[in-house]
Amino acid sequence: MSGLRLLIGAAAVLAALLVAIALAVGIGEMPIAPATTLAAVTNRIGLTQIPLRRIEEAVIWDYRLSRALLAALCGAGLALSGAILQSLLRNPLAEPYVLGISAGASTGAVSVMLLGLGAGTVTLSLGAFAGALVAFVFVILLAGTGQAADRTILAGVAASQLFNALTSWIVSTSANAEQVRSVMFWLLGSFAGVRWPDVWLASGVVAAGLAVCLAHARALDAFTFGEDAARSLGIDVRQVRAVMLAVTALMTATMVSIVGAIGFVGLVIPHAARFVVGPGHRRLLPATALTGALFMVLADIASRLVIAPQILPVGVVTALVGVPFFSVILYRARSAA
């Protein structure tokens, strides 16, 4: 695909993302027109001085916009994590949720929250990060370095079960009734209650993650034919693997600590992006991040429209899209073997 067409495509997805964010801001008990949202943003930046209703402006700034932006960041971060894991483990089914890394992050976050280790955004994230790393190590030790696709997935299943059980255990032994209800939140994900500090944290982590991954784009390309091939192309395999796995764990953990475990975004989006821009990581990674952002904002919109005025957990929406996709890849991987 030529550079120009790629640029036009990227611009189109970016435009679609902005429109989707404007639409997402409009949904709720008080519907808000996209034009109002646009005006509120340009007013705040200082470009315009359009008179708006106070309450609308407050709803946009205090609740809706932070939620929509966080959905975009979350989609970008999880999709990016999926792309990295698929390349590094050479496994088309790898992604944070399937490998149990999201479950580990949930356990870490819930432990911090309920065992009284503090509940600020940063401490929650650190807990989630520790949990994600433990889950990662667990999966890699269990699957071994042979990296047969099915072994890695089985190890991921074991990790998911283990850490979800631990989460439920911690919640049911140390939480009150109110907190027990929130276990659903950690298991399925929700964008409710997102505030600006969450957005700042997530945007910092995603921006840094994308930058580090892009710096390793050539190294990731070199993994196409496996670790020995990467090393014979001059890649310090151990170092690249450690850095990339840490970045993946950090991005996943940050998202899980803010919105809970959301599955299958990391699976679906990288494949779709690879299909359009090809396997080279210098194009694949930005395309994956952008598409992931768009997908998650749309999923959030869907989660609020399907059974309105009630809200479906967003993880239900991504799973309903992701599981059929997962099945197709699994089937194709099996027939290729």
Partner 1 sequence: MSIAATDIRWSSGGAAIVQGVTLEVREGETFGLLGPNGSGKSSLLRVLAGLRVPQSGQALLDGADLHRMAPRRIARRIAVVEQHAATDIAISVIEVVRLGRTPHHGILSGWTAADDRIVEDALARVDLTYRRDQPFHTLSGGERQRVQLARALAQDPTHLILDEPTNHLDIQHQLEILALVQALPVTSIVALHDLNLAAMFCDRLGVMKAGRLIACGAPEDVLSAAMIADVFGVRAHVALSAHHGRVHVQFLR
Q: State in angstroms the smallest separation of the CB of 154 from partner 1.
A: 18
Q: Is 62 in the site for partner 1 (CB under 8 A)?
A: no
CB contact at 8 A, 86 and 142? no
Q: Which two tokens stand for residue 170?
A: 């911690």
Stretch that binds partner 1, among 96-104, 107-115, 175-183, 272-280 (CB under 8 A): 272-280
Residue-by-residue DSSP string for 15-47: HHHHHHHHHHHH-SSS---HHHHHHHHHHHHTS
Closer to partner 1 by CB, 161 or 232: give it. 232
Q: State in angstroms the smallest separation of the CB of 275 from partner 1.
A: 8
Name which position in 14, 232, 324, 328 contacts partner 1 (CB under 8 A). Answer: 232
How far apart CA 320 and CA 268 sit, in angstroms, is 11
Name which position in 19, 117, 215, 328 contacts partner 1 (CB under 8 A). Answer: 215
Name which position in 105, 109, 170, 235 contacts partner 1 (CB under 8 A). Answer: 235
Q: Is 278 in the site for partner 1 (CB under 8 A)?
A: yes
Name which position in 137, 158, 233, 320 contacts partner 1 (CB under 8 A). Answer: 233
Residue with the two structure tokens 């059974």: 307
Q: Is 195 in the site for partner 1 (CB under 8 A)?
A: no
Q: Is 237 in the site for partner 1 (CB under 8 A)?
A: yes
Name which position in 13, 52, 90, 316 contacts partner 1 (CB under 8 A). Answer: 90
Q: Is 218 in the site for partner 1 (CB under 8 A)?
A: yes
How far apart CA 169 and CA 193 sit, in angstroms, is 24
How far apart CA 234 and CA 187 sit, in angstroms, is 41
Q: Which two tokens stand for residue 285?
A: 């990674």
Residue 34: CB atoms within 10 Å: 15
Q: Is 313 in the site for partner 1 (CB under 8 A)?
A: no
Q: Between vectors from CA 289 to CA 164 and to CA 68, what angle results, nearest 5°?
A: 75
At 195, give phi and psi (nearest 5°): -125, 175
User: Which residues of the shown chain bind partner 1 in the complex (CB under 8 A)?
Assistant: 90, 92, 215-216, 218-219, 221-222, 224-226, 228-229, 231-237, 274, 278-280, 333, 336
